[in-house]
Structure 1
Amino acid sequence: MTAPMDALEADRALKTRHRAMWALGDYPAVAAEVIPAVGRVLVEACGVGPGQRVLDVAAGSGNAAIPAALAGGEVVASDLTPELLEAGQRVGAQHGAQLQWRQADAEALPFATGEFDVVMSCLGVMFAPHHQTSADELVRVTRPGGVIGLLNWTPEGFIGQMFAVMKPYAAPPPAGAQPPPLWGNEDYVSALLGDRVTDVTAQRKTVRVDRFPTAEAFRDFFKSRYGPTIATYRNIAEHPERVDALDHELAELARRHDRGAGAMDWEYLLFTAHKARS
């Protein structure tokens, strides 16, 4: 019985670490100020409408859950990090959106099999460490014929490249944890879901980001607001030369993607499917 208990303790520690990372900085500001449009894109792609039961997995502060509620869906926004749910409740109230907010692990969703008409995740489930487990849960809680909709950064796009830049400076990932940007690969997601889904549609799109006038402004914003970036800098805080090197690499990444006047196009994969009826 020792080995299973050790694995359980390790998983608990990993989830505690994830909660703490996403509570760092101000992810609600990232969602609201940098990428406000992507949640609406996913809601429209899923065809959310009045009366549909909708689950937003790893919802954060509700970038997709709130638009889904405003579209008439009966929405549950779930996330591992309570600080993000609290921020989402405030934002939802400001918009007059009515929805439920519930703390939940994407790898062990506390919902019944087939409970939802639409199960979606906008830049959220990709950060759960065990991809197949998360995919299995997405399918499980969707009713037969229901919609699964995912919007995730691609490995080749700006954010995927940002994670590649940060990797040498970050703490080693826990054993078994898989890279988030893999969820931005159509073949990878299709393999995770397998023959349990039909009518797959996958499109690579971009969101225009024009929040930052300079490459340094982007770097400094993410350095102070975005949990994974903050955690990476904390890992090298005692090595000023490495901090300087990461400062330089992040600014150069933004400079390479500058389309003029600081505007950048960040690529994501929009993936929708229906759960097979049998």
Structure 2
Amino acid sequence: MDHDPFAELKKRQRELWASFGPTATSTTPVAAHLVKFAAIAPGDTVLDVATGTGVAAITAARAGARVKALDLTPELLAQAHENARIAGHEEIEWTEGDAEQLPYADASFDVVLSQFGHMFAPRPEVAIAEMRRVLKPGGRIAFATWPPEHMVGRMFAFVGRNSPPLPSGSAPPPQWGNLAVIAERLGARFDSPFFERGVMAYPSLSLSHYRLSMERTIGPLQKLVERLVSEPEKLAALRSEFDAMAEPYYYDNVVHQDYVLTRAHAI
């Protein structure tokens, strides 16, 4: 059997993101921004790709959309089910699946969303082709990503520098926050993208509280810390570097995490 490095990567991702739930809660204001930005209206058919705990999917359902949602990680989907039950939207259809191989028919949806999710699919061209395939002609794609020059984009670049390399042909997630790269990736499948920016406020009592929260809930950083537990000097240096990176974004007991929204129509 041929060795498939992407299958192995996705298996690791499925496991890595199981602890993300507590941090997903902080993205609920971004979900409201994204759903409004996507102009989701009652009756729209919506797919939320890499839904996590269902924050954007449930927000879209509350706006009157008919929603399906997909994620690699079963632990997050279990939390999404529970969130939907509490919110009174048990009609949402949840599926365990891959952004690079969407299990939906062509031209099924009016809107395809992704909130900080599809950016972790290793092959952007595959993920975008799939998201376009399931959109109706003239349908809308709308997603939130982290700019590489700001806190979260820098954090994932930091993790990437200190972790084993991705398989050949993979693209680092922060590239999805570069406006020129986004426009190039949407290419001939969509009209010219429209962008909007926002800042996600992550409350933290100190920089150390923030770092610890990230270490416990952001899978790639969690794995990096685990690898260095037996090397305390290296771990201390890594944490010091992280704190220095985060310090400019931390004031008024909040870490300010800039994000960018993208919207485009299928052509």
TM tier, smaller: over 0.9
Identity of aligned residues (%): 36
- Aligned equivalent of 1:198: 191
Shift of 1:247: 1.3
Secondary structure at the residue paired with 1:59?
A: coil
In 2: Cα distance, 1:69 partner to 1:125 partner:
20
- Aligned equivalent of 2:223: 231
In 1: Cα distance, 2:217 partner to 2:265 partner:
35
Count of residues in Structure 1 that have an aligned counterpart in Structure 2: 266
- Aligned equivalent of 2:261: 270
- 1:1-278 superposed matches below 5 A: 5-7=1-3, 9-23=4-18, 25=19, 27-32=20-25, 34-97=26-89, 98-209=91-202, 211-258=203-250, 260-276=251-267
Question: Given that residues 166 and 246 in structure 1 are in contact (C-alpha distance below 8 angstroms), is that contact kept between their aligned partners in structure 2?
Answer: no
TM-score of the superposed pair, with normalisation by structure 2: 0.95
Secondary structure at the residue paired with 1:198?
A: coil
Shift of 1:275: 0.4
Shift of 1:193: 1.4
Secondary structure at the residue paired with 2:144?
A: strand
Question: Given that residues 132 and 192 in structure 1 are in contact (C-alpha distance below 8 angstroms), is that contact kept between their aligned partners in structure 2?
Answer: yes
In 2: Cα distance, 1:118 partner to 1:144 partner:
11
Shift of 1:78: 0.4
Shift of 1:199: 4.8
Gaps of 5+ in 2: none
Secondary structure at the residue paired with 1:35?
A: helix
Question: Given that residues 56 and 76 in structure 1 are in contact (C-alpha distance below 8 angstroms), is that contact kept between their aligned partners in structure 2?
Answer: yes
| Structure 1 residue runs of 4 or more that deviate by more than 4 Å after TM superposition | none
Secondary structure at the residue paired with 1:111?
A: coil
In 1: Cα distance, 2:247 partner to 2:10 partner:
34
Deviation sequence 1:64-112 (CA, Å, 0-9, x none): 0110011111100101111111111111111112311001100011111
Task: Give the RMSD, CA atoms, in angstroms.
Answer: 1.4
Question: Given that residues 38 and 63 in structure 1 are in contact (C-alpha distance below 8 angstroms), is that contact kept between their aligned partners in structure 2?
Answer: no
In 2: Cα distance, 1:180 partner to 1:193 partner:
16
Shift of 1:113: 1.0
Secondary structure at the residue paired with 1:149?
A: strand
- The one-letter code sitting in structure 2 at the alignment partner of 1:183 is W
Secondary structure at the residue paired with 1:155?
A: coil
In 2: Cα distance, 1:58 partner to 1:67 partner:
15
Deviation sequence 1:195-252 (CA, Å, 0-9, x none): 211252112322222x101100000111112212101212323322111111112222
